[in-house]
Amino acid sequence: MAVQLTDRAARRIFEIVSHETAVKMLRVSVKAGGCSGFQYAFDLVDDRESGDYVIEKEGAVVLIDDMSFPHLNGSEIDFVDDLIGASFKINNPNATSSCGCGTSFSV
């Protein structure tokens, strides 16, 4: 399996980093915490680390560290822009439950 990046997410990432001088990539990671046990973190970075899983699409680069990858394997990273607001959304088949805001989950 792998982590997929939608066209919408790739375009939005490319748009964000194109306005930055040093930052060129988006790091997606899983951290302990949140109301469901784990939470997603999104950080703009300029360097890859050893062991990173790398997704490249339409000029966008997403990095996932080797500790977070098992929690995200099989997921789809999307970007949604609706009445509630605009945000990155992770459709994660490994999550057994998630909070209402969609930023934390449990496995």
> 57 — phi, psi (to 5°)?
-155, 130
pLDDT at 107: 53
pLDDT at 102: 52
5 contacts: CB under 8 Å, gap ≥ 6 = 13, 55, 57, 60, 62, 76, 77
Residue 72 has pLDDT above 60, yes or no: yes
What's the pTM value of the predicted model, to 2 decimals? 0.84
Number of other CB atoms surrounding residue 36 within 10 Å: 17
Residue 104 has pLDDT above 60, yes or no: no
Tens digit of pLDDT for each residue in 3-58? 999 999 999 999 999 988 888 999 999 988 766 578 889 999 999 999 999 999 99
CATH class of the region 4-100: mainly beta
